[in-house]
Chains A and B, each alone.
Chain A
Amino acid sequence: MSARPFNLRRYAGFFPLTLLCLVILYAPLLVVMVYSFNDGRSITVWQGVSLRWYVDVFAGPEAEKFKLAAWNSLSIAVMAAVTATMIATAASLAMVRGGAFRGKSASFALISLPIMVPEIVTAVATLIFFSAIGFKLGTLSILVAHIVFCIPFAYLPIAARLSGIEASFEEAAQDLYASRWQTFRHVLMPILWPGILSGFLLAFIISLDDFIITNFVKGAGVETLPTAIFGSVKQGIKPNIMALSTLLLLVSILLVTLSYILGRTGQPTKSD
């Protein structure tokens, strides 16, 4: 029985289930992190702490492959996220500031389409499309596909932030003789930027993360980190993969923390 029978917000068992949930979520990650420091060649037997697999990631036989894949992943993610963020910013200005207009819900459906369509379907459709129009598969085809599905992820935080900003700031700026561009540049942008940045980070992570679509449209010879890791894992999980995974995991956590902190700097502004 609960110690406080009259607290209607507490249910016996919910807390343990929450803990179970956290254990399931974190146990695999922690285990991989720990085993990435294993000194042994075998992934099963613990043979003491060592950094040899981290050295292996950067200097081992597969190092060149991983470096190239990392470079591809990173450059594609940066370009895709920047482009998607610009498109999403423009779209959220229209959607949030545009009032009611014909085609608004259609536009919203279109923007969220990349989230709704199963990834594998997007992958198939994109592959078919590129091959039909004779678009050469490679880095560029990956980039285009990534821009498309990054748009909704960039859009959501930007639009959310923008809905929290009253239009009176823009009206005040225009009332004080600022042109549209000056209004955006000097007034809206400084208030909106945490939203834009977190939209960018989200798009960046999503692009960095993608496996399925990339796997379909990458063509022969081009690899990103996920496809390279997948290729390796198919032949069994090797310790260097765990070291690489741990590194990527830390990058993700760093980015999430960054975006969390950004989200808290200046909550959406209501003038008061």
Chain B
Amino acid sequence: MTSAVGLHQITKQFGTFTALSDVSFEIADNEFFTLLGPSGCGKTTLLRMIAGFEAASAGRIDLYGTPIGALPPDKRPVNTVFQNYALFPHMDVAQNIGFGLSMLGWAKADVTARVAQMLGMVQLEAFAHRKPHALSGGQQQRVALARAMAPRPKVLLLDEPLSALDLKLRQGMRAELKRLQRETGITFVFVTHDQEEALAMSDRIAVMSAGKVQQIGTPEEIYQAPENRFVADFIGETNLIPATVSGNEAGLVCQMSGGTSVHAMATGTPPVGAQGMLSIRPEALQLGRKPSGGDQLEGTLQGLTYLGTDTQFEVALATGQSVQVRQQNTAPSGQMPAPGDPVFVSITPGTARFLVT
């Protein structure tokens, strides 16, 4: 794998506040890479460092093997799509798209040709001479994209570019962004706090929290095999139940506080006696009125919420813990259990994860 962006022991301090602490990872060439995390986690700061708007307090940033930390933004072959687009209000669409090219000293005719090509790429040929304020949010977004891609950057940085759009447009733009990335082969570094967006578009995701990278992996890995409690909790919904490792020979066995033992997966092999959390997704649980084979928990139905395609059940376990169970509504009007009914909750084999931290 060719490394497009290499981050080595990056630390950033704002006064006494540590925005990033000792962050290191590689972003591969041609990759759609997402920095995902809640606000304040440092993802935007990291992006701004790659762009050159912030300097790292310590550490090294490489672009295709060359250190770029000392270069000002106008000397870095990367371009940014800004959160609110930052389209120059006094220039029309074509002038906005051509701005970077003129600054690079392209000949007028070349600029015109490239602008036309970019306008075609984002399907805004008819809007070349409109001012940004006369465009819709989605159109402004596409101009920002065209402007950043016109100089053929080696890496394109996108800072929450979809957050200002409404839901419908956002979903359309996801597919559009993914398509553009595949067609151009440009490395995309995408910042978002929206996990659904991250899962839908990325080749790989770095989940960040409190200035640290929590886990890097493909969307499937991040969702199905979270490595720690933060990732399990932040991505999707999950039930977290305190548990202790009771056996680790033929597969991991964990004992929950009430005494029930279940099989679980984990990263590495935690020793017997290790304490941690079991993470089980609501959709990995099934509700039954009678006991069945395999791992299962016993409890009382507390309440249920009808959600259209699914129904979400809240079950109080005998231990006092409560778990969420999500089931598809397959039968037209099945016999639903009522709150207060005793129920059995069985776990789909291979879905429970034991997390040490």
Tell whether any CB of A sits under 8 Å from a CB of B in the complex: yes
A residues near B, CB below 8 A? Answer: 166, 168-169, 171-179, 182, 186-187, 190-191, 266, 269-272
CB distance from B188 to the nearest CB of A (A): 15
Query: Which residue from B73, B132, B133 sits with its C-beta under 8 Å from A174?
Result: B73
Identify the stretch in B74-82, B274-282, B309-317 within 8 Å (CB) of chain A at 4 or more residues. Answer: B74-82
CB closest residue in chain B, given A272: B84
A271 to B75, CA, bound (A): 25
9 further A-B pairs in the complex, CB-CB below 8 A; given A172-B86, A176-B99, A179-B103: A169-B86, A171-B53, A174-B73, A174-B74, A175-B100, A186-B99, A190-B88, A191-B89, A271-B87
- Choose among A186, A191, A266 the residue with the greatest number of B CB atoms under 10 Å from its CB: A186
Residue contact B90 to A168, C-beta cutoff 8 Å: no
Task: Name the contact of A179 in the complex, choosing from B74, B90, B151 (C-beta under 8 A).
Answer: B74
From known contacts A176-B147, A178-B99, infer whether A171 and B89 are also in contact, taking CB-CB under 8 Å. Answer: no
Interchain pairs with CB closer than 8 A, number:
76
- 27 inter-chain pairs at a CB distance below 8 angstroms, sorted by A residue, are A166-B86, A168-B82, A169-B88, A171-B80, A171-B82, A171-B86, A173-B88, A173-B99, A174-B73, A175-B51, A175-B52, A175-B148, A176-B99, A176-B148, A178-B74, A179-B74, A182-B103, A190-B88, A191-B89, A191-B90, A269-B89, A271-B82, A271-B84, A271-B85, A271-B132, A272-B84, A272-B133
Q: Which of A175, A177, A187 has the most CB of B within 10 A?
A: A175
The DSSP consensus for interface residues of chain A is helix
Judge if B104 is at the interface, Cβ distance under 8 Å.
yes
Provide the bound-state CA to CA distance between A175 and B82, in Å: 10
- B72 interfacial by beta-carbon distance below 8 Å: yes
A240 to B52, CA, bound (A): 64
Residues of B within 8 A of A (CB): 51-53, 72-75, 78-80, 82-90, 99-100, 103-104, 132-133, 147-148, 151, 164
In the complex, chain B residues whose CB is within 8 Å of the CB of A173? 88, 99, 103
**Contact B84–A172 (Cβ < 8 Å):** no
Do A271 and B80 touch across chains, with their CB atoms under 8 A apart? Answer: no
B164 partner residues in chain A, CB cutoff 8 A: 272
The answer to whether A177 and B84 touch (CB under 8 A), given A171-B53, A266-B89, is no
**Nearest CB on A from B31, distance (A):** 21
Please indicate the chain A residues that have their CB under 8 angstroms from the CB of B80 in the complex: 171-172, 175
Residue of A173, A176, A179, A269 most packed against chain B (CB within 10 A)? A176
Q: Is the CB of A176 within 8 A of B79?
A: yes
The listed residue with most B CB atoms (<10 A of its CB), out of A168, A169, A187, is A168
Closest residue of A by beta carbon distance from B15: A100
- In the assembled complex, the Cα of A271 lies from the Cα of B132 at a distance in Å of 9
Q: Contact partner of B103 among A171, A176, A266, A271, CB < 8 A?
A: A176
Q: Are B89 and A271 in contact (CB under 8 A)?
A: yes
Query: Hey, which chain A residues are within 8 Å of B133, CB to CB?
Result: 272
| B78 CB, nearest partner CB in chain A, Å | 8
- Partner pick for A271 among B73, B74, B86, CB 8 A cutoff: B86
A52 → chain B closest CB, angstroms: 50
- Chain A residues contacting B151 (CB-CB under 8 Å) are 176-177
Q: A176-B103, A177-B104, A179-B74 are in contact. Are A190 and B86 (CB under 8 A)?
A: no
A190 CB contacts on chain B under 8 angstroms: 88, 90
Flag if A171 contacts B73 (CB, 8 Å). Answer: yes
| B103 engages A166 (CB within 8 Å) | no
Please report the C-alpha to C-alpha distance between residue A271 and residue B291 in the assembled complex, in whole angstroms: 60
Name the CB-closest residue of B to A188. B88
CB distance from A188 to the nearest CB of B (A): 10
CB neighbours of B90 from chain A (8 A): 190-191
Return the chain A residue nearest B82 by Cβ: A168
Closest chain-B Cβ to A8's Cβ sits at a distance in Å of: 37
B84 and A175 contact, CB distance less than 8 A:
no
Which chain B residues lie closer than 8 Å to A191 at the CB level? 88-90
- Shortest Cβ gap from B152 to chain A (Å): 12
Q: How far is the CA of A174 from the CA of B147 in the complex (A)?
A: 13
Complex Cα distance A272/B165, Å?
A: 11
Tell me the complex Cα distance, A268–B156, Å: 29
The 7 closest A-B pairs by CB, nearest first: A176-B100, A168-B86, A177-B103, A172-B86, A174-B73, A190-B90, A271-B84
